[in-house]
Structure 1
Amino acid sequence: MMGTDLGLGTAQLGDLFEPLDQHTATAIVDAAWACDIRLFDTAPHYGLGLAEERLGTALRHRPREQYRLSTKVGRLIVDIDGGRTRTWDFSADGVRTSLMSSLRRLGLDSVDTALVHDPEGHLDEALTAAYPELERMRSAGIVDAIGVGSRHLPSLVRFVRETDVDVVMVAGRLTMLDHSALDELVPLCEHRGVQILNVGVFNSGILATPHPAAGGRFDYTVAPDAVVERAGELAQLSARFGYTLPQAAIAFARHPAPVASVVLGAESADQVRANVRAAEAQGDAEGLWNAVLETEGEHG
């Protein structure tokens, strides 16, 4: 359904860690295109709509039928006193308003996939209002696929169990450092025929460097010492199977059968190219997978 093994995540286009400009954002998208990436993921949440605007500008001259694009619902971007703010809204009206606003920012007539974004604090409404509206949109051909994205595994599990979603976006919970999604979500997705978009596979950065060090980011904050130590152990383990740590992180993330795409963010065109080179590395993926799980048991 997704049509590509690697996707470009665009949180960085919304100034996630560092301010960017449109020139840099376009260079990132152009680099991804040159590397044959044709899946682009965004959200209103990223930079209060800024990522969608920059992505839309960067894709404007690209043939629409040649790429797939996903965005999200659940947060509305509201203009207040000359600025923008976010407000939660998982109602049916909120879903429609959110998607129409995203299309305006993107400068597009359609998106391919719409995902309920971080529903864990509003789960009942997301299941009883947001999801039925997305299901209606899918039936009407407004979107091709629908799903949910979150770091919160119980929410993802409930959506897969209780709805007919096509895809779940798993953020940071199917990685070398945190593979808690394997306990219940991954087997459930495989059983139900639900695809996984695996994001946050570097856990905010600690797995993105060959030699993890104190001060690295883990889950959007400074990594605890124990996490830095474990990441160092994983770097040594990766070398045994022919990988650097970033290469191993991607190989591990794409291994489970339901994973359709690994979506990687980037702060520069060079980082896009580095990510693609890491994804192309040849090593013993099966051996790596088994060793990570075995040593996790020893580590725990």
Structure 2
Amino acid sequence: MTPRIVWLASYPKSGNTWLRVFLSNLTQGTAVPADLNKLAHSAISSDRHMFDQALGFDTGDLSTAECARLRPVAYRWMNAQLTEPLYCKAHDACVAADNGDWIMAPDVTRKVIYILRNPLDVVVSLAHHNQKPLDNVIDNLGDPGTRAARQKASGQAPQLEQILGTWSDHVQSWTQNELFDTCVVRYEDLRADPQGFFGRITTFLDVPHDSTQLSDAIKHASFDVLQTQERESGFRERPQNATRFFRRGRVGDWKTVLSAAQIDRVIKDHLPVMQKFGYVDESGVPVVAKANLENGQ
């Protein structure tokens, strides 16, 4: 079986949807921005409706563990139906189910793009997205038991439960994993040099394009365009309690939002990984991360 699934993996609010919109615009190649609610060649790995369709039965009454065991089965079935790459959003950490089977199914994985973002900015963005206090979000980023879309007793949730773990564990689970052919890109680099870093992603994925097509896809996926589309047509992935999905997308918002104590907590929890990816210096002081296209960071 030819692997055709490309995982677009990230901790929540790290630029995953932005990348998915860009790829949809590039592969569609239309003169106008792609419909935000009808993205081509795109899927969400935790979409329960897609999961149920792949398995052929309603999974609402299954436990979280049972769903986790069946997810690679569903992805293998999906892959068998594909004739071209499918770009699949994933917020899960790269982990195995309790039966030892890797949830993201390496045998049907073509490639992986992993996007990471400064956890200080992730805290701010997630707090707005989930309408939660900043301190609660900081707790979650440092909690190994953190889950997304935690399953309720009633079942039937639109999203499958996803294991996140700590922000550091999430990053390491993908960036230090030898199961997949992985391209690691920082959100900050995509913002600072979209032509260079989106270009690097498309080259890694072997997506045919010329400079004009790349520029158009970047323009059609800009935050101004996404905010306009969401304002005019809504966005089906926006949580019900959130006022908007595409809020600001800024780099360095944490500087004016987080207190010194909150900044210290995040750095203390994630110091080694933040140092590795250039978010703090050797002394643990936050720095402006400079783009490094040559070394892929």
TM-score by length of 2: 0.31
Higher strand share: 1
TM-score by length of 1: 0.31
